[in-house]
Structure 1
Amino acid sequence: MKSSFIKRALILLVILCVFLTLPVYSFGQTKGLTVLCIYKSSEGYSDDSNPLKWFFEKDITSNGLRVKYHDFDKGFASLGNLEDIRAIVTWYNGGVVASKDIGINYAKFMINAADKGIKIIVVNSYGAYGYKEGNETKWDLLPYIRPLFVKIGIYFQGFWTNNPNNIKIIYKDSAMVEKDEKQDVTKSLHYQQIIPLREDVKTFLQLQRTDAPPQAGDGKSSVIVISKTGAFALENYVVRGSKVMLNTSAFIREALFYDDGYLNVGVIIGDLDRSETVINNIRYAFKYAKILYDIYSKEKLKGIVAGDLSEYEALVIATKTKSAIPFALIKGYVENGGKCIFMNYVEPDNELNEFIGVKEYAKQIEYFKQGFTLTPSFFMNGVNVPGDDIDCNVRRAIVENDVRVLGKLNTLFDAEKYPVVWERSFKKGKIVYWNTNLLDESKLTRGAIVQSIYRVADIFASGMINVGLIMIDDFPAPWWNVAYKPYRIKYYSDMLQNEKDKFNRKKLEEIIEKLKKLPDETDTLFISDVWFKDILAWQKQFGFVYSSFLIFNYNRDTKADEAGFSVRDFYLSQNGLSTKMGIAALENGFELGLHGYNHMSLTLTKPAEYDSVPWPDKKTMIRALTVSKNEWIALYGESALPFSYVAPHNIIDATGLQALGEVFPTIRVVATLYVAKSGEVEQEFDWTPDNRFYQIPRITSGYYFQDFDKFALYDAFHNFGVISHFIHPDDVFDEMRSKSYEGWLWLKSNFEKEFGTLKQSYPWIRWMTVKDAFYEFVVYNSSAINFKVKNNTLEIYTPGGAGHSYFIRARIPKQHKQLINCSLVQYTPSTGDIVVKTNKYKSAIVW
């Protein structure tokens, strides 16, 4: 017990430190469309004739950028504040300037540019290492130059030598540094020590000085590098005579459109009616899944070219019309290998239709209630997830032959003319198009957004909390020793006598016949002899660890009578079953949480959709909750006071939360619903605004899935690996929750079928109590998790330490060969889906 507490304390202790490492997600930044190229006229060059024009201009302009030439020898005052400049590229042959002031002022100019976010790309000589003082050349400018190089990501150490016997090449990327001729130190005769300072600095040519002085350490030197803030290529390793060793096309493209390898996604928002709601939905989907992203409006994309988008594994686009997005930019990105997801239907447009692969596209939006079916390959491990009974709007579409339909309506007629989602390869890239607005605002399709990225991206990865919760509302609770069967039969028989409509009469007759077939047992006997034994069996069958929520009364008292608030209903069940069930729950490893003094929501106003009596004030709430607390201590002891609370009707207001916190300081979790259906309180998996309570909402419910439930369960799991489901002991006695009294055996069979499929597909789900899940959510949501691809390796970065494990899922192009600092949870060859677990700062999947 003590070690468990210490472990949790340590986990929570690192949260603040972990929080400081969280990535910042913001609207994408405009980069500028001009590249400033600087040469020296004193070296015989001009705007019309210089190495930058010969080797770089074509590659710069072909990527949608402009070139502006400038002569170093004219100074830099005329350049102003460098508006619209995204990069400065220099190429000089010599390293000496006319005076010290020129050298200092040039360094200041370049540093100022770097501070504005302008990339600094130095090719061949830096151009101002030294200066003339009379007939003497001095080399004391390094203190002014080094701060600039640090901004590029390198430290210019020096320790020059031209002795080839003491220089050797220890690494080279031949495709980048041996275009027309091999690198050869016996011809280059040049060494300066240049040390990479940051993880983002990529080395393409590395030397080593074998006789390095002690201050030079191992003597290694990265002489051709590219970073996210610039690039550097040392003289003598760029050109030799008429031969160009540096692959200038590859070099300038990578320098201008640097990709650090981290997996991230770009989001483009157009003219949706409720764009803020859509943005919020995307933010939470990606926050939960640990996906890095940038959000762009059309205005923010004015300084962006297609090459800038190449860093993204995919673009997610949400717009009503094509005119509200930079379509030409997006098309160029896809043509060059980019991946694009339209997360909602766009108004028909001939150019857009051709792009997404539509021959005919109706302007009219049609509404369907039958739901849809997605191809199993869309989901992780190829699981079949039907979208039965999901209401959706769809446009009629006749798609091209090269389009692959991933989902279509569940309709008997013309289903092929109403595809819900499809994918298409276009030039070098790929498109997924959702022909519905279902993903725009629904929290229950966040997983579909994430999974769409997995569908188009060559390689992708995301975080998973991997938590499964089964909550039991109203257990233990007051039970009445009532045989519901005869009572229900009489109730529906009386309705039948007064019903005239043939359809309704038939429905009532069917209900009565079902009721006649049910056992005659009381609620008390059913719960103790049937239901409780079955859910205990499910603990072994599925690995469930339950969280049950006790309620003391079913009265409507929110003001207290003359005798005050008291617990009465809880003791009415036969043989004190309610009390015994609480003990049995604790003995069987359940978490015992609180559902309430009674089933009246802790609110000062009446909920619109529920028959719940409001409370007059916080003081009265506190009195009722205090009675509950004292009764709890008397029954189960102070050590068992609740940690979690489920709000009656899934509704509670700010006053109710205050009262709850004052009476029960032990309660840290409040649970309502992930998505409201009838005015309930909606929650995210996050802290309340005052950070007093953590919210763990329930996503699905019942023993059989209704409407959106099955899709919602798998969707949330595909978002970030969470299952949050709740049931009641007495669902069998409720018309809606029992599908018009199908009986316990039917409910049990359906429940076992659904969760059996879930277990078969994902046997590694960690079932736990809400209390244990609290610690998992707090650590997971506060942790920065990033992913980086290098060649055939996916690198995973987590906070590590504190004894906490992180679950990661990925889709890789072929079977893994090696796992470094992580263990395999599951791999599915048919889909390329892999799940690993790690507790290290850095781990990797190699294929």
Structure 2
Amino acid sequence: MAIGENSPIFLLLEDYSVMRAFSLVLLSLLCFKIQAENVYSHKVLGLYNSAHGQTEKENEIYFYLLNPLREMGLEVRFHDINSGIPQDLSDVRAVISWFRGGAVKNPEEYLRFIARVIRSGRKFIILGNLGAFQDSDSGEYISKEKINSALSLLGIKYEYQWTDNADFLEIVKLVSPMCEYEGRQDVSVSRFYYRFLRADRNLRIYLSVRRKDRDYEPSPVIVSNRNGGFALGGYTYRVKEGKIVMLLNVKEFLSVSLFPDAEYERIAILADTGTAPGKEVLKNTKTVLRWAKLPFEVITRENLNKMLPQDLFAFTAVGLIIEDDAGLNPAFFMPFLKRGGGIVSLIGGNFSNLSQLLALSEEKNEKTTIRGYRFREGFLLGEELSITQNDYLWEAGTSVPGRDADVIAYSYDGNTALLWTAERESGRILAWNWKAFRHRSFQGFILESFLFIRPVGIAGVAGVGTIYIDDWPLPMYNVIKKPLSVTDTEFYTGVWWPEIKAFFLEYGIPFTSLLIFEYNAVNSWPLVVEEFFVGKDRVSVLIAREIAESGNELGLHGYNHLSLVIYNDSTGYGFWPDRESLKEALLTAKEEWIRLFGESTLPVSYVPPNNIISRDGIEILHKVFPSIEVIGSLFTGRGTETVTGFGSDPSIPDIYYLPRISAGYLFKAGIRDSIVSAISGYGIWTHFIHPDDVFDTGRSGGKSWKELKRELGRTVEFVKHNYPWLNFMPSRKAVSVLREYERAQPEFFWDEEKKVLRVSSPPGFRFRIRIDNTIRIKSIEGAEIIYRYREMGAAVLKSTEGVCRLTFD
């Protein structure tokens, strides 16, 4: 029977992908060390202390911060900390305190409250006095360890050493626009010092004070980081001749504390998850960004309504996964674009409010199915790479690019624009007019889009190439098969095998070969190996031994060509009657393998027959062949075919999935584009060939072996020309490299001027950059360029130290 999306196999893989996605989420959190996602609302909580003489309308927040906050689009809800710790923070994005004294009720509980607020994704801003140095009821002072449990999250640590002797003090660092708003800082007037230590390498320091009578580093007293800000009392304002003189530029301080600039590469994905296309595009976007080591935050339409334009400042790029722009205002995105941000729309929809932003004309197309596409060179990664496809069918949106749009790709007939870009303020937009990102085969195009809209785009890249020879060695029957005039054994041993070995040797490509013992359809006892020995002089055995003893890899394709799926009565689908029969087939293959080649050569890799394997099959395979570390299924597939991403099995982490990206000898447009996407998105190319394709007109296209080999050469030369930085290796080594890549926890951090990019990673980590044609690399420290593209601003690099620095002009 035909098995569709409701089949047990399909549902199994969906569960599988969910588990895999969950494991990747955990990995991404570890990799990027990100706090909880930001909380969005139009309110902040203002804390005052009535024990200090403050009231709801008689406090510093009310006096000095209320108007600046309102100008930012924020309202303040006040709370008296003397009445207890606030319990409900559901409607606020941040908490601000401005206390006059250092004592509070239950200070330990208050310090824990500060930490909870920050760890919930909300900002905390402290002005004046921390207010928790002392218990107001008992008079007991709080230890610095307890104080620092909160302050360290704001990037500083408290170390006592108070003094009010101005003779001991001097200002070391001063950012005047921030700290001298209406008057000059003067320690002889402030006369206030605590020793604070810097506890965050990314801390922004606006004012620091040194104690001259101690050998201390300067104490940062006005600072901000991604969790909020801190401004010590005595340096925020002073009273002169009965008037308040604001030293701190409170609006600017609130801005940097509430809406910090992006310190590192981070993407906001504004997604409508209420539609099937939206969910599928989002899933593929998240998958490829995780692999590229690019942190992101998904913001739903509901949360988007709670955001302010300044919230986008924390991101370097924005992705839109929305099919309509109802309720969206282009003005929301303009401040982000003015600061050089980039926006990519990843799904073709029906847009009106954002038409000018996305470079759309007033004209609309009818939604229709379009055939083929043409990409001009300069967008996709490669050497002057332009691609044309004349048979891929895609669903177009209704958008038509406007006059200021620069069209990058059209439909094959040139009548429908597929992709365009435009400059907006100091930033750039990119708009896709299709829904093909629902399919995982274009994930690399998604990543390329995010790199394209950045002045400098960066992403991790694995740099791995693996070629499988599936069904080899195989049973040979000493018979003549059309279209050849010699026996299959003569063709394989006298022509195909010598020539394919020479082919891979010429291109410097080691390979992984997958042995199969039988092509029978036997699925119950007795299970024996006979066909493998039919070939003249037992040549299949000899070839297997040759591979096992070479620098290449010998893996397993199966006892026979029946997929490892147990028959299910309810669906009428399956190949093996029960678990025991399936297990016996694998045991038969293992026993024969040991007899022929020795236990030390047991296979490390396995490719499922018919590209199908069930959960039962994986578990039994692992029990019988614990040596197997690699399963090579499909990256994209149809029907009941097993589709996986790259990575470890969530239940059996010893098994790693290394699915094939492309297959066959023929260099077709679809194969080429799958290769481009996979290498652009993952830095990986896996390819399968079979020795018997010449006997199958469907797979050979009616071409001779000589023609097929020439076509395979075109494929390899295409990859070598456009991606010479790929390292080819057998599957076992590939998985070792990929596991190491996945363990890496890089950070792509920008300095304040956005001129220096710091990459923290293990030495040997590979990454690629894409730079705008107005920018050039001034210097590279701690990394080496593996390959620099000649005609586009792109390069692949490898770190040589734990931290490398790229400086740009």
TM-score (norm 2): 0.85
- The yes-or-no answer on 1:523 pairing with 2:488 is yes
Say which SS state the counterpart of residue 620 (structure 1) adopts. helix
Contact map agreement 1:601 1:649 (CA 8 A) in 2: yes
Say which SS state the counterpart of residue 355 (structure 1) adopts. coil
Correspondence for 1:406 among 381, 384, 408: 408
**Shift of residue 766, structure 1, vs aligned partner:** 1.2
**Shift of residue 329, structure 1, vs aligned partner:** 4.0
- The yes-or-no answer on 1:805 pairing with 2:764 is yes
- The yes-or-no answer on 1:833 pairing with 2:797 is no
**Shift of residue 301, structure 1, vs aligned partner:** 3.2
1:33-48 equivalence runs, <5 A: 33-37=42-46
Residue in 1 that maps onto 2:359 = 357
**Shift of residue 400, structure 1, vs aligned partner:** 1.5
AA of the residue aligned to 1:312 = F
Residue in 1 that maps onto 2:124 = 120
Correspondence for 1:589 among 551, 563, 567: 551
**Shift of residue 75, structure 1, vs aligned partner:** 4.8
C-alpha change, 1:575 and 1:776, in structure 2 (3 Å) is: same
1:192-203 equivalence runs, <5 A: 192-203=194-205
Say which SS state the counterpart of residue 353 (structure 1) adopts. coil
Residue in 2 that maps onto 1:226 = 224
Contact map agreement 2:361 2:403 (CA 8 A) in 1: no
Say which SS state the counterpart of residue 749 (structure 1) adopts. helix
Which region of structure 1 is more displaced relative to structure 2, 141-150 or 757-766?
A: 141-150
Contact map agreement 2:52 2:101 (CA 8 A) in 1: no
Residue in 1 that maps onto 2:527 = 565
Question: d(CA) in 2 for partners of 1:710 and 1:132?
Answer: 72
Residue in 2 that maps onto 1:310 = 313
Question: d(CA) in 1 for partners of 2:183 and 2:503?
Answer: 70
- The yes-or-no answer on 1:86 pairing with 2:93 is yes
Contact map agreement 1:27 1:294 (CA 8 A) in 2: no
**Shift of residue 172, structure 1, vs aligned partner:** 3.7
Residue in 2 that maps onto 1:479 = 476
Question: 1:80-129 CA deviation, whole Å, 9 max, x = no partner?
Answer: 7355232333456xx547xx5xx346785575355234433233455786
Contact map agreement 2:374 2:387 (CA 8 A) in 1: no
Contact map agreement 1:698 1:724 (CA 8 A) in 2: yes
Unaligned runs of 5+ in 1: 1-14, 489-518
**Shift of residue 409, structure 1, vs aligned partner:** 0.9
AA of the residue aligned to 1:650 = N
Residue in 2 that maps onto 1:62 = 71
Contact map agreement 1:524 1:573 (CA 8 A) in 2: yes
Which region of structure 1 is more displaced relative to structure 2, 658-667 or 249-258?
A: 658-667
C-alpha change, 1:186 and 1:589, in structure 2 (3 Å) is: same
Percent of pairs identical after alignment? 26
Question: d(CA) in 2 for partners of 1:477 and 1:148?
Answer: 66
Residue in 1 that maps onto 2:40 = 31
Question: 1:131-176 CA deviation, whole Å, 9 max, x = no partner?
Answer: 999xxxx995676865543443322223234555543444344453
Contact map agreement 1:388 1:708 (CA 8 A) in 2: no
1:774-813 equivalence runs, <5 A: 774-790=735-751, 791-798=754-761, 800=762, 805-812=764-771
Residue in 2 that maps onto 1:430 = 428
**Shift of residue 184, structure 1, vs aligned partner:** 5.3
Contact map agreement 1:644 1:667 (CA 8 A) in 2: yes
**Shift of residue 812, structure 1, vs aligned partner:** 4.3
Unaligned runs of 5+ in 2: 1-23
Residue in 2 that maps onto 1:21 = 30
Correspondence for 1:551 among 499, 510, 516: 516
C-alpha change, 1:60 and 1:525, in structure 2 (3 Å) is: farther
1:258-407 equivalence runs, <5 A: 258-259=260-261, 261-270=263-272, 271-323=274-326, 329-330=332-333, 333-334=336-337, 337-347=340-350, 349-362=351-364, 364-379=366-381, 383-395=385-397, 397-407=399-409
Question: d(CA) in 1 for partners of 2:469 and 2:148?
Answer: 64
Question: 1:212-232 CA deviation, whole Å, 9 max, x = no partner?
Answer: 1xxxx6343111110222211
**Shift of residue 296, structure 1, vs aligned partner:** 2.0
Say which SS state the counterpart of residue 398 (structure 1) adopts. coil
- The yes-or-no answer on 1:665 pairing with 2:667 is no
AA of the residue aligned to 1:206 = S
Question: 1:809-829 CA deviation, whole Å, 9 max, x = no partner?
Answer: 223454434433333222347
- Is the radius of gyration larger for structure 1 or structure 2? 1
1:165-204 equivalence runs, <5 A: 166-179=168-181, 183=185, 185=187, 188-204=190-206
Say which SS state the counterpart of residue 391 (structure 1) adopts. strand
**Shift of residue 447, structure 1, vs aligned partner:** 1.0
C-alpha change, 1:588 and 1:537, in structure 2 (3 Å) is: same
AA of the residue aligned to 1:418 = T
Question: 1:670-697 CA deviation, whole Å, 9 max, x = no partner?
Answer: 2211111353111122333431632211
Correspondence for 1:656 among 617, 623, 626: 617
Residue in 1 that maps onto 2:588 = 627
How many pairs align? 769
Contact map agreement 1:395 1:418 (CA 8 A) in 2: no
Question: d(CA) in 1 for partners of 2:296 and 2:451?
Answer: 15
AA of the residue aligned to 2:623 = E
Question: d(CA) in 2 for partners of 1:88 and 1:658?
Answer: 51
Correspondence for 1:748 among 709, 726, 731: 709
C-alpha change, 1:124 and 1:565, in structure 2 (3 Å) is: closer
AA of the residue aligned to 1:263 = E
**Shift of residue 279, structure 1, vs aligned partner:** 3.5
Question: d(CA) in 2 for partners of 1:623 and 1:129?
Answer: 71
Say which SS state the counterpart of residue 209 (structure 2) adopts. strand
Question: d(CA) in 2 for partners of 1:381 and 1:208?
Answer: 55
Question: d(CA) in 1 for partners of 2:691 and 2:486?
Answer: 14
C-alpha change, 1:645 and 1:25, in structure 2 (3 Å) is: farther
AA of the residue aligned to 2:522 = D
**Shift of residue 435, structure 1, vs aligned partner:** 0.4
Question: 1:600-631 CA deviation, whole Å, 9 max, x = no partner?
Answer: 22222399999x98222222223332332222
**Shift of residue 130, structure 1, vs aligned partner:** 8.0
Question: 1:262-306 CA deviation, whole Å, 9 max, x = no partner?
Answer: 211122221323544343323322222222111122223343222
Question: d(CA) in 1 for partners of 2:397 and 2:124?
Answer: 49
Question: d(CA) in 2 for partners of 1:18 and 1:27?
Answer: 15
Say which SS state the counterpart of residue 662 (structure 1) adopts. helix
